[in-house]
Amino acid sequence: MSKIKELTQRLIDFREVRNWKQFHSPKNLAESISIEANELLEHFQWLDLEESKRYSVEHKQELAEEIADVLNYLVLLAHDLDIDLIEAAIKKIEINNKKYPIKKSKGISTKYNRL
């Protein structure tokens, strides 16, 4: 069993024994992803680049927990929508390869429609 499948099953089991599926509509899960991502972002609020790098080292465990919250909700949403998360990510990389050809995008952060 792949690690992503194992994680998915553990999350489903966790949710099932608590009878929480009733709260996990696609809308609620998407909102939860956003909320948790913002909790992650809050750790870096007001920090400059160097401070954020130091903070990341000093608060690695707290950041790991916030990142895990985002991932866990994302995995549940993908499962409930019958989306293969790994396959979707690989397809998106392929799409981005076309949107951001190396010759036009290397070393710059310009959005694809302005390259």
How far from the centroid of its chain's Cα atoms is residue 91's Cα? 16
Q: Look up the pTM and report it.
A: 0.91
Residue 5 tokens read as 């499948």
Domain with CATH 1.10.287.1080 in the chain: 3-83
Average confidence (pLDDT) over 30-56:
98
Is CATH 3.30.830.10 the classification given to domain 3-83?
A: no
Question: For the chain, what percent of residues have pLDDT higher than 70?
Answer: 100
pLDDT digits (tens, 9 = 90+) for 55-88: 999 999 999 999 999 999 999 999 999 999 999 9
